[in-house]
Each structure stands twice: as C-alpha cells, then as structure tokens.
Amino acid sequence: MSSIDFSSFFGSSQTTQSTGLGNMLGDYASIKNGSYGKLLKAYYKKQEKDYATSDEAKEESAKYSKVKSFASDLKNAASAINDKNLFAEGDYEVTYKDGTKGKSNYNMDKIYEKAKDFVDSYNKALKAGASAEESSAVSGRTLSMVAFTKQNSNLLEQIGITASSKEGEEGQLTIDEDKFKKASGATVKSLFSGSGSYASVMENKAGILSSLAESQISKVSSYNPKGSYDSGTASPLSSFFSSEV
C-alpha cells in the first residue's frame, strides 16, 4: 500500500503545529458560533448591493420596466378592442380620412380608434421587447407575438393592417384608416372580438410578457458580482448558513 505524505499538513516543528492547530480550532469555532457565516453573508450582500445600485443594473431595470409598461398597455388595448359591445350591429355613419361619409353595420369610427391604439401599443411593446436581448424568456415571448401576427397577416392586410419588413422596423404595424373603415365588418370582428380571436390571444401574450419583464426587474436586484442572478433574494452563499446564525 502506497504511503501518503502528510508532512505538508503537519508542521515540522512543534511551534508550527501548535500555531496551525490553533488557527484551525479558531476557524472551527468561528464556523460553529456563526460569526464566519455572518461575515460571508455581509460580504456577498455588499457585493450584490453594489451591483444593484450600479449604472449597469439601473439601465437593465429601466429597460425591463419599459417592457413591462408597454406590454401592459398592449394588454389593455387588446382588451379594449375585444369588447362585444363595440361590435353591436346597427346603422352607423362612417367618416373617412378626407371628410367624406359612408355607411356601415358597425361603428367603424369607434372601432378604428381602438384598433389604432392597439397598433400603437403593439409597436411600442415589440420595440421594447426586442431590445431586451439578455432575457431569452422576454425575447422569446416577443418573437411569439411577431409569429402570431404573421399567422394572421392575410386577414390583417384585408383590413388595412400590415407589418413592415423595412430594416430596423421589422414587424412594426401600420394601419390604413380608410381601408380599415371600408373593410368587411365581419372580418374586423373575427380578428378583434371573441375568445380565440387575434386580439384575445395577443392580450394573453402581452400579459405574459409584462409578467416576464417584472420577473427580470426582480432578478436584477439579486444579480451577483459575476453578472448571473440567484433564484431568490438571498446572497449566493447565504443558503449555507442559517439566518438565525
């Protein structure tokens, strides 16, 4: 059986041995009474606090706050246009962009206002979400919004809503007022009213995006000095030590 050299562990002199043993016992006592754990927790908490108050963390927090706000606005806009009372049939007058009048079975002037709010909110949420590349969850949810819009592009184009393919504006929506107001009311209703409609699904996606952004804001405050984040608000090593220590 091969021998193991323990000479580096045990000092060659009695004084060294006594000193080393004394240090070890001192460390052991610090661990046992909790003072070592408190020091570590205090150190890492300071590191995290320093990061959480840094310009980088503030910038990240502001970015996700914008995503949360715009996603919330989109959720509300989608909910507003997905109102069955908005699509009550009747004899309505429609005013076109040049001031001329027309007739419709739906209140297309009012529906257009809600659709315009939806498009504006969608574009802001899309732009904010696309800028949050650090979060795969936020980026993924933003991309799912674009993909779902693309799935409905044929119907949307029929009512004057188109997605841009221009560089730097990919996915951004535009709405043609006259084409929208002259479009089939039934097509507009199928897109924006009822469970499972384009507006209904987009409302759900926007709500999830807002929640994901809020989660990212919370994570920024618990980033450690290496740039990764912890699952909770505790310090990286604090889970090794009881809070009562």
* Total count of domains within the chain: 1
For residue 11, tell me if it sits in a domain.
no
For residue 13, tell me if it sits in a domain.
no
For residue 172, tell me if it sits in a domain.
yes
pLDDT single digits (tens) 137-150: 999 999 999 999 99
For residue 71, tell me if it sits in a domain.
yes
pLDDT single digits (tens) 188-211: 999 999 999 999 999 999 999 999
Distance of CA 225 to the CA centre of its chain: 22
Q: Tokens 């080393």 belong to which residue?
A: 20
- Give me the domain span that covers residue 130: 51-220
For residue 45, tell me if it sits in a domain.
no
- What string of DSSP letters covers 19-72? HHHHHHHHHHHHHHHTHHHHHHHHHHHHHHHHHHTSHHHHHHHHHHHHHHHHHH
Q: Which pTM was predicted?
A: 0.70
Strands 92-95 and 161-163, how do they pair?
A: unpaired
| Sign, CA torsion 136/142/145/146 | negative
For residue 40, tell me if it sits in a domain.
no
| Cβ partners under 8 Å of residue 205, min gap 6 | 141, 144, 145, 148
What was the pLDDT predicted at 12?
47
pLDDT tens string, the chain, 245 residues long: the values are: 443 343 343 344 555 555 555 555 555 555 556 655 555 555 445 444 444 556 787 888 889 999 999 999 999 999 999 999 999 999 999 999 999 999 999 999 999 999 999 999 999 999 999 988 778 899 999 999 999 999 999 999 999 999 998 888 889 999 999 999 999 999 999 999 999 999 999 999 999 999 999 999 888 766 544 444 443 333 332 332 233 43
